[in-house]
């Protein structure tokens, strides 16, 4: 019921680019969204056959909705970083699959670094929690940010763990506070977006949601 998971979609394209979609891409009902993020106006068009609202009783498309405001952060990656994420999938698959399910890699482990003189692309950093990369990567990314920082936090079940028993500080709020203070001191504009859900998906009175919130 409570999981941390990866969602990636890799699409073939002409070499050497490669196309990959990563992040909040849910291949199930009720997850498609448009750039307008409408909750009601698209029920007769884009969301006519894709209505999903598990958070309130009696919410039906025939009653005018509204649909669940699902808006995960996701991105489309091209060129070397797409190969990097594909290589990450291959590593995980080879670790878990048996010999009959093994796949053979047809390329060398890629480098995700782009040429500095290519102004039409961004350098994308891939952080992984399994090797500790996220522990150092996220604070460093926030510290290096010059104009914007966007953070998103999901809910999880703590199994009655107390904060003082964890033995580890959450570095993101600390680094975020230090960054904002530093910009105020030098009178520079800095914009921060922190996205936190009001409650996890499903009815807020349900046992699973209450367990997460508590």
Residue 23 bridge partners (DSSP): 74
Where are the domains positioned within the chain? 130-214
Higher-pLDDT residue of 31, 135? 31
pLDDT 10s digits, 142-185: 667 776 666 655 544 455 556 666 555 567 777 788 888 999 99
Q: How high is the pLDDT of residue 157? A: 45
Nearest CA to 193 out of 147, 154, 157 is that of: 147
Mean pLDDT of 112-123: 61
pLDDT 10s digits, 9-23: 776 666 555 565 555
Q: How high is the pLDDT of residue 110? A: 54
Please check the confidence at residue 1 and state whether its pLDDT lies above 50: no
Q: How high is the pLDDT of residue 161? A: 58
Question: Which residues in the chain belong to E strands, given as ranges?
Answer: 8-11, 19-23, 74-78, 148-152, 191-195
| Average pLDDT in the chain | 71
The CA-CA-CA angle for residues 51, 56, 60, to 5°, reads: 40
Whether the pTM exceeds 0.75: the reply is: no
């Amino acid at each position: 019921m409570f999981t941390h998971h990866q969602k990636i979609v890799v699409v073939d394209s002409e070499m050497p680019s490669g196309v990959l979609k990563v992040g909040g891409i849910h291949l199930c009902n009720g997850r498609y969204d448009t750039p307008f993020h409408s909750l009601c106006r698209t029920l007769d068009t884009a969301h006519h056959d894709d209505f999903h609202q598990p958070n309130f009783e009696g919410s039906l498309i025939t009653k005018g909705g509204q649909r669940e405001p699902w808006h995960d952060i996701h991105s489309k990656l091209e060129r070397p970083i797409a190969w990097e994420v594909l290589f990450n999938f291959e590593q995980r698959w080879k670790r878990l699959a048996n010999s009959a399910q093994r796949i053979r890699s047809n390329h060398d482990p890629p480098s995700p670094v782009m040429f500095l003189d290519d102004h039409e692309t961004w350098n994308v950093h891939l952080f992984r929690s399994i090797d500790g990369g996220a522990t150092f990567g996220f604070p460093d990314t926030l510290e290096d940010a010059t104009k914007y920082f966007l953070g998103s936090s999901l809910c999880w079940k703590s199994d009655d763990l107390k904060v003082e028993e964890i033995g580890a500080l959450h570095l993101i709020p600390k680094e975020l506070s230090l960054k904002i203070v530093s910009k105020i001191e030098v009178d520079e504009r800095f914009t921060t977006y922190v996205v936190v859900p009001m409650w996890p998906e499903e009815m807020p009175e349900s046992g699973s949601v209450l367990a997460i919130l508590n």
